[in-house]
Structure 1
């Protein structure tokens, strides 16, 4: 067969549903409804027979019988070798024949009947989660491993998708590309890939491969979050004997158009594949050039097939995705991809790279007369970057210059994720990892050549030197050297003028190395741009943050019952206002930390506590001004009649104390609470905590003195809509009256005035008024748990209970009260406090300490002076309006709850049944984390996005959050 015929593609067979039904019936006795399945070259039809679904495959006339026999043999081989891997199997006709001929026009086409592999393909899916990409690699690796010992005469064929022939396919079909620029780009990329592959080809292992394990040709079930999880393969039409690494390259290339912004997301698949088929060094080096060739072959073949078969949607629809795939593959330098794979798989650098690093380690320092540099800390924990200094332009240069003045010579640290480069809001990981070192030395300091080298670039900015240690770039050096100048080790290079200098090394002369990298690409770039500390004569590398190692240490000594957010949590070491920053110096918008009401790292709070700790910190049994001042401020904010304050350590302790006071004052034990509520973890606060999300046994382990009313949730509770107010009120009155009739009138009723644990659900109008009246009618007390929902967070009111038109007997507060400092309180009446006093005195170690009190005062001052309550109202209203817009577009959003900066976006799978979308909620939170937002599920069913950020959240921040949530709802999770 000549070259042109070997790679030419024939149009699909002219077979429609009616003819397919006749073929299936006549040849295989397969009868039932027929539906065509997509294919670029064959015709595939699903026939729903009485025995189950089957696939009728009418082969393209270019396929030979031996090829199809090889596919059938491979199917049976896969089933034997890996029974857990789902794959099609062939059926025979009544005479035991699996491959039949059928006349269509002038052709006699080969026809087969296969089993239908249940599951959904990834075709049409937008975003692919890391778990899904890993599944693709798992399926590809298992298939490749199972086929390792498979052989058949039908494998020895030339197929256009065999990457050994990709350059030939591109050369033959590229004229069909309509755009001249695109034609040139594909040809240039293919030529570069072939040059990289040339020395590797003899080293690449050969075997039978499936050849098309892609998003279109894998299937799987949906998981609980609605994501398709590949666990089976279909369509062995590209089965051939070729390079083993081609299997992985073809699989990974199909991921690129799903994640064009993150090409290295394919590493999830690579790691999974490598567990089944360990890659050789040659395969690792060949992998990305083959990705480029696969992309090139796809686009030229797609354009050619569209010309042959212009009415085939299976050809026309994927073309732009294929172009996106090719463009992403071609954008990654081969050396970077190679280094990324080696790092991800735990392989050593190449021998050449190791040799160059050894040369670098033995070089002469650029400035032999300077033996010490003061290392400057620009990480996310740097003390020089408190109070928002990280957002100031040129902050790193100022800090470096200041250090140099102090010590004579100063330098930044290689490999440090610089906080000074961190944008506050970013959906993409910023480039913060330093691949070089900035430094300052005294003016007139002489620099020398660190080793034998040659000048390859010289300009006013500095010099580039070619050496056995790679390319060395020195910026800021004053010199008079010309390009081409050879230099011996120790020869004069230039002089410092006292301003900033920079040095960087790159082991590849073909790369334009960036100055900084993001966290994903950093392992690759750090292999290509090694630590240049030897050029300065001292160690200037930043310590490894090692978030995974730290997590292992945490798990080794810290009880698992104290859970952490996220499956693989980032190492969070900095907070500023409404932002959290991890050890990679990536900023996340914090939409969940209602504890930090006035924002993280607030200077006013820090300074107040710092001063007090330097002065005095003892306990409330001593007499000092701060405790009186804080108590007075709290009483001023409380409703009339609540004039007495008790200070404690936390919200749990505040609730515990309020319940104890009620039981003591009334002389009763029984307490009324509501279902699905969280109040704390101490003995009494846990007794009234009924949320099974926090404790699966919460309802079964309640003491008999706790009596529960229905959760007053008008959206999904027992009473809904217009009947909610009267329904819940009537039920509550009946419960209290029944308790009283049985001689057990309640000592107290405790509830959040806004249902915080459910995601900020507003209570039905009048509910608390009716409940309070019922309890008070029998001599009980009413406790408003404002630990989460009070303190100005609702914006339109300071206390949540104001929205219900009631005045409680006790208010419990904490969280926002100390902005993370241990502080809580009960505000009540003098009469209740005096009655409680009769049982003895009260003492709390940190509650009411001088430091706690000044923290509380600083928080109140910040809320007042910075207008944070008004901001909560304004930004909260904006969020509610934007969430309403999303709800109108996305059925997954069942309801939007709350007010101010305590809101909840409730996710449901069906708006009628209200089936909670719990798994989707967790998955969406994970996806939002990738996009720079920290948010978490809440509610009894973990299906509500809890929106309770610091009260300094701006409208720009809110718009960023909504934009990222909208993106996730559109693209998937």
Structure 2
């Protein structure tokens, strides 16, 4: 290929034609006129044309381009349209019937074409792409390659700067455009590494016609009614060429890197999706990452050159930041690592290591028994957060060695000590080495022949023909460059010994890697078990998909789990939950664990009481009296009776029965959009359609829902709306009176918990309670979610309204996860139930439950959690409210303390709920290490009700990540 041709094509500015000239051209040749909107291009001139006859794209390119190349593009469009793989633009004929016009515009020779416009939007400006879109681009690339595999045309044989076959030549030519010496040297070095990898593969790479620009710029998408992205079509066939098939996927993957937030593994779902549709040969898989690296180098060099020769091209100037980010991510990891990652992602493996010929590394310890120390997520050595202590793993190994003589860690066992609370960064918990605690002075011998190298931090490295042995904690008389035979002395142990095996001498692997990179690094740094003569590999993980399938096969489907592909959570500490790979997730929705997870007091109290007695509340023991007295001390002074039950559902069900017994009636008023539980009675008064889509059509006739006093999006809005909402109560009371039925009572959360913690309008409960009591009914305050100090300013939610209910129900945080609920009321109401028989709850009020309940109250007081909810919760709400001015999607912040709701809307005038955006936001927060779920009838409110031990640091991390996701776009 002539260099001059390639250089010429890479050095063309875009045609210099004004919008007025374009309008004249359009009228004269197509009989069209309309509004023109420039569309970006590096070397062409493109306009969107809006006319009375439709919307089109006018494409103007240099006359230097061969006509047959453009004809090949038109033929490919027809071929793909016939194939039906994806929608592509139609070519619109000019007045003379031609698809392609060659014109002279004031001395400039240009080619002109008019194409159908495909409505939708590209994804270039989105900082983050959801996994479904990444897979979608990979799948689309495969489908187009399949369709073009049979396409032939003379215009495919062309010299094109983007053709990966010419990348090395082009890079060498364009390097001088980089003025910075360090940058220029880096690009040259990275490109040369890629070329060395590609060279032996080139002859084996399949060749065919490819689009070569299936990127976030040239694939058009549109959201459907559910706000899900739907593919609309593929545009811009200007890079169509016959070349290596794998180039197409390399271009797609390179474009994805500027959305990757610095993580090149982000592209793996696209590769998997491509391979599933259009299987790749092993040579193509090996070539893919070097091609991506070369593409990244070409992008920055071409971009810098284009800006230099065409400084007015804003499209090229804007793209430079993306192109430099692509290059930064592309050279951020070793080529070996990405090769292994790509192979493992599609089920290919590196060749196994022949380990049978190893000599023992520690010959004097052969046959000795090691204590293998469990340092994993479920290790019994870890409790009460002690894994956060610096050096805990090494201390456990040392203590074990002091008892057993020899101790070792397990290769590939995710380490709990390396978890990172309040971090969006995946922690490096996977060990690629084994740590041993053996007697000082133990001899180490070379397990294979090699050359010694000495590195930083006391590293002694033995490089063999295909393997490297990396050791720390060794004293050696050897000098760098010493050549050893198998079995020759390396040195002796002088401290804690770390042993790592690695393929090749050029890598500098970490001692730990992240779970997402574990498969790739494990392929490059296999277990050193064979040379240690020690079965020290971690137990294989339970396949998470298989475990989820077992759950779905045995656990009733109506008992849902969070997220489509939920992480497996088996441990918690304070306000974080930890998965089996050692990642900590900020728990922002677990109002059951009021004291946080793993509290040592809870463990000690439960264990102590279990060792003594646990039985039902019909036996006589001190704890039930002590706990009941503690609860009454927290309640209004006129309340003197306690029922202990298992849950909030049971508490609300019992409260309804008490209302029936005391009033002699059955009819209950409940509030729309509320949730009170799943028993027959509690479900009957629940009207949340988010929890039960048939809620409004399946109420029994004794339930009378009243209008939800939602001051934000309800029928009446603002703080003065109480009288308007009370009219709904009066209307329903009148209906009950007309039917000559006795009112039993009114049940309501004093703060609208299920709707995100919305405060009721001032005076609402005071007037409603008066009306209900006038008609012989009782007033039930459902404090299951909002009470017990969670609101910060008030211990009980009803205190905000300045009222005292007749019955209080509670649960959730009472037992910090232990099944425990309560009903508090007056004696006369409690005793009214006796006429219907006695009441008991087998586990409610058990000795264990009572002791745990009292311990919860003790810890809340000792750790000042109510005050923490007030202070930190106040800071939390202030930070969330600050988002309203910055992000149109954030409509309101409800609640107080640690019961908050962020309501997301699409329109501030209509308050259209942003339901799908809320789901997407919650899913993205999970990727960033935060558990969050939607609530409300429209599922458009973030349900923020974390453990009451939540810190200011955690709050700031949550809001920072919320800002990050909102900045990325939803």
**TM-score, normalising length: structure 1:** 0.97
Listed as ranges, the matches of 1:29-428 within 5 Å are 29-81=31-83, 83-223=84-224, 229-349=230-350, 351=351, 354=352, 357-359=353-355, 363-364=359-360, 366-367=362-363, 368-428=365-425
Aligned partner of residue 128 in structure 1, secondary structure: coil
The secondary structure found in structure 2 opposite 1:254 is helix
Mapped to 2, the partners of 1:231 and 1:613 lie a distance apart of: 62
> SS of the residue aligned with 1:500?
strand
Higher mean C-alpha displacement, 544-553 vs 704-713:
544-553
Matched, 1:711 2:708: yes
Q: CA deviation at 1:568?
A: 1.2
Counterpart of 1:12 in structure 2 is: 14
Deviation (angstroms), 1:468: 5.0
Aligned counterparts of 1:572 and 1:931: Cα–Cα separation in 2:
16
Contact 1:56/1:113 (<8 A) preserved: yes
Deviations 1:14-38 (A, max 9, x none): 2222222222222223333222211
Q: How does 1:590-609 map to 2 (within 5 A)?
A: 590-609=587-606
The answer to whether the 8 A contact 1:136-1:230 is kept is no
Maintained 8 Å contact 2:747/2:782: yes
Q: Does 1:28 align with 2:25?
A: no
CA contact (8 A) 2:589 2:945 kept: yes
Question: Is 1:669 paired with 2:666?
Answer: yes
Distance in structure 1 (CA, Å) of the matches to 2:533 and 2:250: 43
Q: 1:516 aligns with which of 512, 515, 524?
A: 512
CA pair 409-430 structure 1, distance change in 2 beyond 3 A: same
Gaps of 5+ in 1: none
Q: 1:571 to 1:207 in 2, by over 3 A?
A: same
Residues 422-501 of structure 1: pairs in structure 2 closer than 5 A: 422-457=419-454, 461-468=458-465, 470-497=467-494, 499-501=495-497
Deviates more, 1:109-118 or 1:177-186: 177-186
Q: Is 1:541 paired with 2:543?
A: no
Asked whether the equivalents of residues 302 and 315 of structure 1 are also in contact (C-alpha less than 8 Å), the reply is: yes
| Number of aligned positions between the proteins | 966
Q: Which residue in the other structure is 1:556 paired with? A: 553
Could you tell me how far apart the structure 2 residues matched to 1:173 and 1:225 are?
A: 47
How far the C-alpha of 1:183 sits from its partner, in A, is 1.6
The separation in 2 between residues aligned to 1:462 and 1:60, in whole angstroms, is 59
Aligned mates of 1:119, 1:267 — CA distance in 2: 26
My pick for the range that moved more, 245-254 or 56-65, is 56-65
Unaligned runs of 5+ in 2: none
For the pair 1:959 / 2:956, whether they are aligned, the reply is yes
Residues of 2 paired with 1:846 and 1:584: CA distance?
A: 35
Q: Deviations over 1:330-369 (max 9, x none)?
A: 12211100111111111122x3xx1xx2326855353443
Of the three residues 655, 661, 667, the one matched with 1:658 is 655
Distance 1:709 1:457 in 2: 78
Tell whether the 8 Å contact from 1:455 to 1:483 is kept in structure 2 after alignment.
yes
- The TM-score normalised by the length of structure 2 is 0.97
Q: In the TM superposition, what whole-angstrom CA distance separates every residue of 1:21-73 from its partner, at most 9, and x where no partner exists?
A: 22222222333322221111111122223332111111123311000000000
Partners of 1:609 and 1:215 lie apart in 2 by 56
SS at match of 2:273: helix
1:833 matched to 2:835? The reply is: no
- Alignment RMSD, CA only? 1.7
Partners of 2:430 and 2:564 in 1: how far apart?
24
- 1:38 touches 1:314 (CA, 8 Å); kept in 2? yes
Contact (CA 8 Å) 2:925, 2:965: kept in 1 or not?
yes
Shift of 1:467: 2.9
Give how far 1:777 is off. 0.6
The answer to whether the 8 Å contact 2:6/2:170 transfers is no
1:274 CA displacement: 1.3
Q: CA deviation at 1:452?
A: 3.6
Pair 173,450 (structure 1): closer, same or farther in 2 beyond 3 Å: closer
Among candidates 798, 801, 806, match of residue 803 of structure 2:
806
Q: Distance in 2 between matches of 1:950 and 1:72?
A: 62
Contact between 2:397 and 2:409, CA under 8 Å: does it hold in 1? yes
Structure-1 residue corresponding to 2:774: 777
CA distance in 1, matches of 2:797, 2:730: 22
Structure 2 Cα separation of the partners of residues 966 and 227 of structure 1: 22
Q: Is the 8 A contact 1:208 1:244 kept in 2?
A: yes
Q: Is the 8 A contact 2:118 2:232 kept in 1?
A: no
Deviations 1:380-399, CA, capped at 9 Å, x for gaps: 21121110111111111111
Cα pair 2:373 2:410 within 8 Å, conserved:
yes
In structure 1, C-alpha distance between the alignment counterparts of 2:556 and 2:598, rounded to whole Å: 27
- 1:203/1:883 Cα in 2 relative to 1: closer, same or farther (>3 Å)? same
Q: Is the Cα contact below 8 Å between 2:662 and 2:832 reproduced in 1?
A: yes
- Residue 963 of structure 1 aligns to a residue whose secondary structure is helix
Classify 1:651/1:460 alpha carbon distance in 2 versus 1 (closer, same or farther; 3 Å): closer
* Distance apart, 1:6 and its partner CA: 2.2
1:156-182 per-position Cα deviation (integer Å, ceiling 9, x unaligned): 011001011111111222222232222
Query: Out of 668, 680, 702, which is 1:683 matched to?
Result: 680
Partner of 1:3: 3
C-alpha contact 1:366 1:449 (8 A) present in aligned 2: no
| CA shift in 2, pair 1:267/1:681, >3 Å | same
Q: CA deviation at 1:245?
A: 0.8
Offset, 1:469: 5.8
Q: How far is the alpha carbon of 1:130 from its aligned partner?
A: 1.3
Provide the C-alpha distance between the structure 1 equivalents of 2:783 and 2:359, rounded to a whole number of angstroms.
65
